[in-house]
Structure 1
Amino acid sequence: MRIVLQNLTRFGDLLQSQPTLAELAGAGHEVAVACLENFAGAAALLPEASLILPLPGARMLAGLEGNWPEALAAVDGFVDRVVRDFAPEAVVNLTPALAARLLARRLCGEDVLGFSLDPFGFRHESSPWATFLEASSANRGLSPFNVVDLFRKAAGVGNGPGRFALRRPEAAALQAAGERLAAGAPPDAAFFVGFQLGASAAARQWPVAAFGQVGEMLWERYRAVPVLLGGPGETGLAASYRQACPAPAVDLIGATDLPGLAAVLCRLRLLVTNDTGTLHLAAGLDVPSVSIFLATAQPFDTGPYREGCLCLEPDMACHPCAFGVACPIGNACLSAIGPETVSRVVSEFCDTGRFAAGAYPGARAWLSAFDTSGFMDMVSLSGHDAEARAVWLRVLRRVLRQFLDEKPFGEPDSGLPALPPLPGDTRQALATLLGQSAELLRLLEGQAGLAARNQAMKARFLATWERIRGLWTGSPYLGVLGRLWMHEAQQASPDLPALLGRIRRYAACVAALAACLDRS
């Protein structure tokens, strides 16, 4: 089958769709990749792509502000070219935005996996996994799954171990990168460590001065030279780094195209980075990393899809913070993880090639590793796996796998290690929340049957539905389930049996969560 894999988001997200692409191609499908025009170079790193279909998204948006008929004609022109050059039989759309849904339907009608629209224009997802992928984006702190695995499941694959492998640079590119690094470093340089100084927002950017202290340690102890990486808009960070650190560094910020960046990464012993697209490029090229997750970023969902990478996040009760909420403590997480901690773990890796369990002052330290089902997981190196957030994420991970696969609930922790006990206050709050949820779902199920025959009961049914939505979306524990509940309700209304089935499915999920709570 000829399939268009459509990912119209950022550079890092596009790269992270490679495991999905590989599984589709491995099943015998011919897969083309539709992406934004400015990320076509990134799509060239996807080895299984039989064709790259660049969409001039920026020009289309600009056209809508000026001459919308011409912009719509450009969309039609893109669709016509795809049909002419590839003749797709299906689309896998991994972008939930309305424009992407419309484009997917325009390309292949109802033969869309992931995000689409039904014949009446209502939002439609092909599976609960796709619905969860969008719903979890607003509750990242409660999402226990790496986005790569969510992409895989939303596309209808992901039933075995995942593997992230981008196209490696050619020998000539690797040689050129090596020569470039050598030319910018002192003659006695021993090896190179990458520093990605920038991030998508200042609140997610570890201080440049802290990077500088790590760079000074590398030079003094190992004669290792940092390589400064980043885009053209981040050249000011290089100047700040030079002021903070007198030790040698190779400044490549704004000086590499994507193939050049890939070649440079392959020449590094280690990458030290914020949560960025460069992190995911390194993971796909099998380059080890130390990544720092600040503000809204957290490693469980956007960490590197490669085993053996170290992820650090502030050891603060408020981390990760919510989206769209101003920090009341002046972004204190920026200084929570000190350069001494990062210098130590970088030095440890340079000496041994691994990261060990132990004390990580100021940080919660997680090591990326695959679980028994082939999903990416995070293993605590700093003893934080017994904290309430970590335990609850583990509970959600076990129960939601069955819920989203739409399988009957068995023993969600059968054959898995026992969960640490939750703190007493957290356990009590969860027991109360899950008890209220079960009662409201039982009430809603009864009202649904009556509402089908009694107009007056519809108002009570809707009021109960709203109480459940409010209970979950306002909860620090079930917010992601509330979003999923909301998203599913926005789809075209099902018939009564389907509606009752949905309510019972949520009731079974709540019961499974309660059972896990009883065993923790």
Structure 2
Amino acid sequence: MMPLHIVVVNFTRMGDLVQSGPLLRSLKRDRECRLTLIVYKLFRDVAERLPMVDSVIGFDVDRLVPRLDHNRGDLTAAYDQLTEFLRDARLTQIDELHNLSHTPQSATLCALMNPRRLYGMGRLPDGQLTVNGEWFNYLLSIMQDRTFNPFNLVEIYARFNPHGGPFGPLELTVTEKDHRRAEELLRAAGVDSRCPFVVLQPGASCASRMWPKERFAELAARLAQRGVRSVVVGSVAEKHLAENIATLSNGSAVSLAGQTDVGDLAAILKTALKLISNDTGTIHITAAVGTPAIGIYLGPAAAKDTAPFGDGHIIIEPDLKCAPCPYKSECQTFICHHTVSVDHVFELAVADRHEQKIVAARCRGVRVLRTKVSASGRLDLELLNAPATGPNNLHLSFFSRFWDTLLNEGGTLGDSIGGFRHDIPAEWNNAVSRLSAVFSRAVESMSRFSNDVANGASEARISNSLRKQVEWQNDLHSFINEYPGLSSFPRYLLVRLSTARTSDVAVYMADLRDTLNYFHHGLSLLTCSEDFQKAGIPADAAIA
């Protein structure tokens, strides 16, 4: 019997690739198969170090995107590039294709591969976007607002596996050659790898996430007083930043920015005492090689979303009501950059695990968290101090159970409803009532639509029924703005509706009904609280 051929498409960046490792490992568990990973060509070297991957193919996404531009693109050239890529890659007999990317371009590529089963985003024969997998719909729904997302990205990826099962730690291969090369780089920079040193990563994907370079330099100088050297790493584009820090530190830090490939970086991190970094891909490589990290999470970075997956990592967040800031906001003050002091980072960097709680208790103006992976694979964040602000853990705890129950049940009412007992906040009272009213209007409009189609109603009447569908969906949009605390659920429903198949009325109705089933199930979970049951909110309204 031929082994299954599993293909995974992941056009994300370095950190996300590393965080997808537990999913890739779980896809191969207990099955005779080979796994091919297709990635953005710039990160092929990262993908090749994921030990569960059998082969890696790099794709030139930068060349494709302009060709798919509706205004300036060349669709014929784009199609030719895709078919040429598939021919050269010799991808035949794809049994399972998992698309972890969330772009129309990746959906087109996946459709052309013609797999036997496709999970994630793809295209129908008529070209319409489609999504297979409720956890992928969930990921799409939180991309605009992660405030009430209770899951680490590793946990979300792991839930993409349609076969379920446990998932393990982050993994990354570091070879003897990598270690020799790292030793040479460190020696050339004047660093003895046998002596204690830390790695600093001052760069990030945007300025709002970056701790000031002057503070990194001061941190390096203070660590040097303790006999600890600092090695600054980063990309070629971050070379000037790293050299600035080395200069400002009066030689306490040395720069290797722009000199390391992924293997060199991983080997240096594996040898280091720890990494001190902004929220970057480097922090996930650190977790994968088993070195402790201190993450300085500024701007939109949130520990609950992207903390390194593993035990004993420290995350420092500003203790501000506005932190983390909305994902795509443009902050004008960067006040959080000055809230995290050198004292905070230095004291936690030199403390051992047993001292961390004592040190954290003295930290004012910040939240100090420590990571731990539970036996069930959940990344827990232990709060080590007593900040004035922070995420609403009651809300996050509720949504963790809510989403696991809703999405793993497949939108059907089952025994899980009776076992779902979780008092939800009193301030959600009016919101759930409003959402229930939207559901009632949706069911009524769906019933009329169904009857019109069944009775052969006029085109004008069916068009009017379709407008009624748009009205209750607009009500969901309004709800999101009025009740942000419960916005994640209607946002998820709208994502599902955005890929409803529109080529045929009957098929479109089936997709609407499917989403209403999820709407129904979600409301049933929301109304399991005794307070809401007493308020008379229907938990079992029938869907026509």
Give the match's secondary structure for 1:367: strand
Matched, 1:392 2:395: yes
CA distance in 2, matches of 1:388, 1:510: 24
Distance 1:320 1:516 in 2: 30
Which residue does the alignment assign to 1:292?
Answer: 296
Aligned residue number for residue 219 of structure 1: 224
Answering whether residue 105 of structure 2 is matched by residue 99 of structure 1, we say yes
Match of 1:177 in 2: 182
- Equivalents in 2 of 1:191, 1:280: separation in Å? 21
Q: Which residue identity does 1:191 align to in structure 2?
A: P
CA RMSD between the two structures:
2.9
Taking the TM superposition and a 5 Å limit, the aligned residue runs for 1:332-371 are: 332-349=335-352, 358-371=361-374
- TM-score, normalised relative to structure 2: 0.85
Give the letter for the 2:443 counterpart. E
User: SS of the counterpart of 1:140?
Assistant: coil
Say if 1:385 and 1:391, in contact at 8 Å, map to a contact too: no
- Corresponding residue to 1:482 among 490, 494, 502: 490
> What runs of 5+ residues in structure 1 fail to find an aligned partner?
none
What displacement does 1:313 show? 1.6
1:395, 1:513 within 8 Å by CA — same for their partners in 2? Answer: no
The one of 54, 76, 79 equivalent to 2:83 is 76
**Offset, 1:79:** 0.8
Write the distance in 2 (CA, Å) between the matches of 1:292 and 1:413: 36
**CA apart distance, 1:413:** 6.8
Match of 1:435 in 2: 433
SS of 1:209's partner is helix
Identity across the alignment (%): 23
Distance 2:358 2:165 in 1: 29
- Alpha-carbon displacement from aligned partner over 1:215-257 (angstroms, at most 9, x marks no partner): 1221112x01111010011112123313432252231111111
Q: Closer, same or farther in 2 for the Cα pair 1:430/1:22, shift >3 Å?
A: same
The 2-side partners of 1:412 and 1:144 are apart by: 20
For normalisation by structure 1, the TM-score amounts to 0.88
Q: CA deviation at 1:116?
A: 1.2
Does structure 2 conserve the Cα–Cα contact (< 8 Å) formed by 1:203 and 1:331? yes
Name which of 49, 52, 57 aligns with 2:56: 52
Give 1:140 deviation, angstroms.
Answer: 2.1
Between 1:388-397 and 1:54-63, the stretch displaced more is 54-63
Task: Look up the match of 2:139.
Answer: 133
Retained in 1: the 8 A contact 2:236–2:258?
yes
* 1:273 matched residue in structure 2: 277
- Could you give the per-residue CA deviations for residues 419-455 of structure 1, whole angstroms, max 9, x where no partner exists? 9xx9xxxx44322212211232133223321332254
CA contact (8 A) 1:308 1:354 kept: no
Q: Give, in angstroms, the shift of residue 109 of structure 1.
A: 4.6
Q: CA deviation at 1:405?
A: 1.1
Q: Is the 8 A contact 2:348 2:360 kept in 1?
A: no
Q: What do residues 173-222 of structure 1 show as CA deviations (whole Å, max 9, x unaligned)?
A: 2144235324534679830111001000111101111112221221112x
Confirm or deny that 1:467 pairs with 2:475: yes
Q: Cα gap change, 1:324/1:225 in structure 2, threshold over 3 Å: closer, same or farther?
A: same
Please tell me whether the aligned partners of residues 417 and 524 of structure 2 are also in contact (alpha carbons under 8 angstroms): no
Q: How does 1:103-114 map to 2 (within 5 A)?
A: 103-109=109-115, 111-114=117-120
Q: Give the aligned residue type for 1:21.
A: L
Whether the aligned pair in 2 keeps the contact of 1:174 and 1:266 (CA below 8 Å) is: no
Corresponding residue of 2:126: 120
* Unpaired runs of at least 5, structure 2: 453-460, 502-506, 533-544
CA contact (8 A) 2:193 2:271 kept: no
Moved more, 198-207 or 361-370: 361-370
Deviation at 1:106, TM superposition (A): 0.6
Amino acid at match of 2:60: P
Judged with a 3 Å threshold, the aligned counterparts in structure 2 of structure 1 residues 191 and 437 are, in CA distance, closer, same or farther, namely: same
Residue identity opposite 2:318 in structure 1? P
Asked which structure has the greater CA Rg, the reply is 2
- For the residue of structure 1 that corresponds to 2:211, the secondary structure is coil
Q: Distance in 2 between matches of 1:170 and 1:353?
A: 32
Q: Which segment is superposed worse, 507-516 or 240-249?
A: 507-516
In 1: Cα distance, 2:391 partner to 2:265 partner: 39
Separation (CA, whole Å) in 2 of partners of 1:471 and 1:367: 35
Contact 2:209/2:298 (CA < 8 Å) preserved in 1? yes
Cα displacement string for residues 474-494 of structure 1 (whole angstroms, at most 9, x for unaligned residues): 532233223211111112245
Q: Deviations over 1:356-391 (max 9, x none)?
A: 763432222222222453232323222469956232
Q: Which moved more, 1:283-292 or 1:506-515?
A: 506-515
Matched, 1:505 2:518: yes
